Amino acid sequence: MRSEDLIYEWSSAGPSAPITGTTVELMDETLRDGLQSSSVIDPPIEDKIKLMHLMESLGVDCVNVGLPGAGLAATKAADTLVREIVRADLNIEPVCAGRTLIQDVEPIVKISQDHGRPVMAYLFLGSSPIRMFVENWDLKKLIAVSRSAIEYARGEGLEVCFVTEDTTRSDPETLRPLFLEALDAGASRLCLCDTTGSACPSAVTNLIRFTHEVVAEFGGEVGLDWHGHRDRGLSLINALTAMAEGVPRIHGTALGIGERCGNTPMDHLLVNLKLLGVRNGDLTRLLEYVNLAHESIQAPLPLNYPMLGRDAFSTATGVHAAAVIKALASGDEWLVDRVYSGVPASWMGRAQRIEVGPMSGASNVRYWLKQEGFRVEQYVVDAVLKAAKQSDRLLTWDEIVSIVEQLPSMEPK
């Protein structure tokens, strides 16, 4: 039977526009925005380099190497990462963040010129009414500082993406002139930011359609970026909505780290875009990428973290495990990976795991014993299952082995 006959795909069954068929670039913000989290550490440069190589292996298109204007340490790290890109002849494109101030642009210019490698400047400023009120800014001032910084960057040979912070809470009367002035000054991209993670999908749709109208009004070739945070837990669906609305570059971070609640998880983007058929890269090093971020940046990796947490492909419930075990008996790996999972574990170099606990059935125990090399006999199954039913959690490997070894006439094969 064909795979399409076994799984019905509602995402392509109705009037909603599917994302499939679009071209989407990914920009990794782990080493810039991700490090703004209050709970992580700034890792050694050696680990930053390893993370960047893993991004390359996963097919990530761009990497934000930092905000050199933040000080000497940030400048040195960004310089080292760009040097490594040149040395290793990596395909990943480096970008640097900066405020719309000439003093922030200058170190980006130097890094690019020193290494003979284009480095796009992502120049940002706050644009929402609430931010303008707090800072005592007016539109005239925003336009002036933006134009000055962008024209300086362009004059020094840098490509520029104009980033409006808090775009999702900014009004059209402010955004339109800011966008048009930035594009007129030489910016080739606009980055729309859900800085406070306040947007829902309908807000994303409305903002992007408005931006397309402004770009059409400008009349030139303009790239668009989406940069989302997850304060409301909507970052992934907002990113997918942005893609469906024609935004070709999406930002994310390893494990979704970042200020407050964090950013769109890059690992979730990679898996979901493969599931949607938008990107078809090799994800076997995705777990390595996430584990390195977890260890070197001390980013949390919950046990039930989707796709990559310890329990992501684990089941101990009897009826669920029984279905997986029947699929395993068929010898069809495709079937095993999907009968009780929306994500193929094999993509990440993982496998479905059958555990034994209070919700388990005899099939769980039989499978476990067989996998661990013990003879499968009914009285052994009964003893392990009895212990599992009396437990308030999953039995550990040591606990099951102890039960088995205390029973008569049971030795490993």
∠ CA 124-169-176 to the nearest 5 degrees? 65
Structure tokens at 188: 């080739």
Rg (CA), the chain: 25
Looking up tokens 């190589």 gives: 53
Q: Are 179 and 211 in contact (CB under 8 A)?
A: yes
Q: CA 236 to CA 219: how far, in whole Å?
A: 30
Q: Which run of H or of E encompasses 134?
A: helix 129-135
Structure tokens at 112: 């690019």
Please report the domains of the chain, with CATH numbers, ordered by start residue: 16-296 (3.20.20.70), 314-406 (no CATH)
Q: CA 400 to CA 410: how far, in whole Å?
A: 13
Q: CA 254 to CA 263: how far, in whole Å?
A: 9
Q: CA 108 to CA 89: how far, in whole Å?
A: 20
Q: Are 143 and 100 in contact (CB under 8 A)?
A: no
Instruction: List, in sequence order, every residue forming a beta bridge with 162; answer none if it has no partner.
Output: 123, 190
Q: Are 81 and 52 in contact (CB under 8 A)?
A: yes
Q: CA 71 to CA 30: how far, in whole Å?
A: 18
Q: CA 366 to CA 374: how far, in whole Å?
A: 9
pLDDT the model gives residue 410? 45
pLDDT the model gives residue 413? 47
Q: Are 172 and 211 in contact (CB under 8 A)?
A: no
Q: Are 159 and 199 in contact (CB under 8 A)?
A: no
Q: Are 322 and 363 in contact (CB under 8 A)?
A: yes
3-state SS class at 357:
coil
Looking up tokens 């777990």 gives: 287
Check the CA dihedral 126-127-132-134 and report its sign: negative
Q: Are 301 and 309 in contact (CB under 8 A)?
A: yes
Structure tokens at 290: 């996430």
Those residues whose C-beta lies under 8 Å from the C-beta of residue 295, and which sit 6 or more positions away, are none
pLDDT the model gives residue 306? 92
pLDDT the model gives residue 399? 86
pLDDT the model gives residue 267? 97
413 residues of the chain, pLDDT tens digit each: 456 678 877 777 766 666 656 689 999 999 999 999 999 999 999 999 999 999 999 999 999 999 999 999 999 999 999 999 999 999 999 999 999 999 999 999 999 999 999 999 999 999 999 999 999 999 999 999 999 999 999 999 999 999 999 999 999 999 999 999 999 999 999 999 999 999 999 999 999 999 999 999 999 899 999 999 999 999 999 999 999 999 999 999 999 999 999 999 999 999 999 998 899 999 999 999 999 999 999 999 999 999 999 888 888 777 787 888 888 878 888 888 888 888 999 998 988 888 888 888 888 888 878 878 887 888 888 888 888 888 888 888 888 888 888 887 645 54
Q: Which run of H or of E encompasses 254?
A: none
